[in-house]
Amino acid sequence: RKCLSRIQRTKFLNAYITVSEEVALKQAEESEKRYKNGRSLGDLDGIPVAVKDNFSTSGIETTCASNMLKGYIPPFNATVVQKLLDQGALLLGKTNLDEFAMGSGSTDGAFGPVKNPWSFSKQYREQKREQRRPKLHREREGTDWLIAGGSSGGSAAAVSALTCFAALGSDTGGSTRNPAAHCGLVGFKPSYGLVSRHGLIPLVNSMDVPGILTRCVDDTAIVLGVLAGHDPKDSTTVQDPVKPFTLPSLTDVSKLCIGIPKEYLVPELSSEIRSLWSKAADLFESAGAKVIEVSLPHTSYSIVCYHVLCTSEVASNMARFDGLEYGHRCDVSVSTEAMYAATRREGFNDVVRGRILSGNFFLLKENYENYFIKAQKVRRLIANDFVNVFNSGVDILLTPTTLSEAVPFLEFIKEDNRTRSAQDDIFTQAVNMAGLPAVSVPAALSAQGLPVGLQFIGRAFCDQKLLTVARWFE
């Protein structure tokens, strides 16, 4: 009940699209009964959680923050949602995002942007006071606030504002790690194939993974333990039995080799994050770890490569939204084609339509070889860069998560900033192309009083080791 009332008190953040109060209260009642009878279902029994609104939830509207899916009520639960419920977790609601998870600010959804809870924190307000301090209620309604990051900004804001203890995000190019960094949380992207995607409405099937947002690494490990494992409904999940994800305690890092990729030192990186990054490396070194500079030579191709692959898969994925099967249908009866076109024009925002157009261009017969196939080859080179580094003895890579701390909304939506927002994924996207596990961990508060995250990247399916190191650092 406290979580639900906090959701109401922090409504101005726009973190939730749907609050499933009745469902949650009923689940809580059942959980309480189990607790009294000493029959708790596990670590998550009775724990309030939230789920990004691109995971199907049986009987609860699932919109992907798009007009296209307004009113769509799935008849089934995504596997990860079902697993949470089977463990007794309480589903508080569905969280806000960029439309169909395309973006990195959570500013591009049909239900309006998500506000970063840190915009209203004491530390940040005190820093800003010297400049200007408008009345808080006006700020809450106006535009003077910071982005939450994205595209899982609603999930990040929900956990950060203490409305729930964990939230599911999705991560295709950084969408869990980026908002986690901006909202002062742990944001984890598991290895591709470790956690089922069944019921996660796809953005880029070959890169999407469900992500986990929590306030500490231990909580992430608990949720991962519940979610990980083979799913017959997702043929890309691995068959191997999955180890439990309880983290061994790590006190001695002297056997670890930490790699610092030199290509990640880009000119756009804020000097503050740069110095935090090097302080973190020093911390490992002074604890006895070996810290070495490494090279991921194809890094600079990752943004363009991602763009070709992402938009091509988007063009194909979005074909299912034709007005016949799901959600929105436009009232045009001249012809079926005219109905399709009008529905899609009304249902999708500019970002989605733009990606469908780009993707179809790359997939044209005359462009396919030159763009799509070439991008797949480059993707392989990018993935091999990581394999080479790990094969040379590096255990974990340490990088920044974002170029800067969270920026003000008005700055973020400026036209010229759109390119910057794509660049902001520079540290996170390549990991998705390689299918590796990665986690953003809060590292410090900036001079402005805002959270800054650093990212750890591990070898494929070494998720447990990655989280163990992240917890040592935390």
Query: What are the catalytic residues?
Result: 52, 151, 175
Give least dist CB 321 to ligand GLN, A: 17
Contact pattern for ligand GLN over residues 202 through 221, marking x by CB under 6 A = -x------------------
Among 46, 103, 109, 437, binds ligand GLN (CB under 6 A): 103
Selected binder of ligand GLN within 172, 220, 399, 404 (CB under 6 A): 172
Task: Say if CB 67 and CB 326 are below 8 A apart.
Answer: no
d(CA 260, CA 294): 6
Contacting range for ligand GLN; rule: CB under 6 A; set: 96-104, 116-124, 269-277, 340-348: 96-104
31, 63, 160, 175: which one binds ligand GLN (CB under 6 A): 175
- Size of the residue set binding ligand GLN (CB under 6 A): 14
Cα angle value 425/426/427 (rounded, 5°): 95
Please give the residues from 423 up to 442 whose contact with ligand GLN meets the rule CB under 6 A.
425
Return the SS3 of 398.
strand
CA-CA distances (angstroms) from residue 56 to 63, 328, 344? 9, 17, 21
Q: How far apart are CA 376 and CA 371, in angstroms?
A: 9
> Which listed residue (3, 89, 228, 310) binds ligand GLN by CB under 6 A?
310
Give the residue with the Cβ less far from ligand GLN, 109 or 259.
109
Q: What is the DSSP letter of 446?
A: -
Buried b (16+ CB within 10 A) or exposed e, 63-84: bbbbbbbbebebeebbbbbbbb
Residues 366-425 that bind ligand GLN (CB under 6 A): 425
Nearer CB in complex with ligand GLN: 68/291: 68
Asked if 173 touches ligand GLN (CB under 6 A), the answer is yes
Q: Phi/psi class of residue 59: alpha, beta or left (left: φ > 0; alpha: ψ in -120 to 50)?
A: left
Of the listed pieces 164-172, 290-298, 359-367, 463-471, which binds ligand GLN according to CB under 6 A? 164-172
Helix axes 21-36, 2-9, angle to 10 degrees: 160
- In the block, tokens 């995971």 appear at 55
Residue 174 touches ligand GLN, criterion: CB under 6 A: yes
Q: CB-wise, 85 or 433, nearer to ligand GLN?
A: 433
Choose the binding region for ligand GLN from 35-43, 119-127, 167-175, 446-454 (rule: CB under 6 A).
Answer: 167-175
Which residues of 278-437 form beta strands (DSSP E)? Answer: 290-294, 396-400
Among 101, 185, 260, 433, binds ligand GLN (CB under 6 A): 101
Q: Is 264 exposed, middle or buried (0-12, 13-18, 19+ CB in 10 A)?
A: buried
Where does this chain bind ligand GLN (CB under 6 A)? 101-104, 151, 170-175, 203, 310, 425
